[in-house]
């Protein structure tokens, strides 16, 4: 599956990019591991994950073309 991954807030700064596309993604857990391998520094930060604009708390079935975002705690307002 091809998955678009976005990084926000401090994660984007630390990664040096607003995100990247991942090809050959087999599952949600597979994707998370690929991101951790590419960006080991993320282990120092708290973040939540959304899939197609919905925050998720557990792993789930991804579909080709899904958009996944890694979001540090919000700071709006």
Partner 1 sequence: MVTNYLIDGPITQNVIAHLVEKIGGRTESGGHSIFLGQVRAAEINGKKVEAIEYSAYEAMVKVEADKIKESVLSDFDDVNTVDIVHSTGIVKAGEISLLVFVSAGHRHQAIEACSKTVELIKEKLPVWKKEIFDDNSHVWKQNKTV
Which residues of the chain form contacts with partner 1 (CB under 8 A)?
6, 8-10, 12-13, 50, 53-54, 67, 69, 71-77
Q: Which one, 26 or 67, has the nearer CB to partner 1?
A: 67
CB atoms inside a 10 Å sphere around CB 18 = 12
User: Cβ 51 to partner 1, closest distance in Å?
Assistant: 11
User: Cβ 59 to partner 1, closest distance in Å?
Assistant: 20
Q: Which one, 37 or 53, has the nearer CB to partner 1?
A: 53
Q: Which one, 13 or 38, has the nearer CB to partner 1?
A: 13
User: Cβ 37 to partner 1, closest distance in Å?
Assistant: 24
């Amino acid at each position: 599956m091809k998955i678009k991954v976005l990084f926000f807030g401090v994660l984007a700064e630390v990664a040096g990019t607003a995100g990247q596309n991942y090809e050959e993604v087999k599952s949600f857990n597979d994707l998370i591991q690929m991101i951790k391998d590419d960006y080991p520094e993320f282990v120092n930060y708290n973040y939540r994950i959304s899939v197609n604009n919905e925050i998720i708390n557990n792993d789930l079935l991804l579909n080709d073309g899904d958009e996944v975002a890694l979001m540090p705690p919000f700071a709006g307002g």
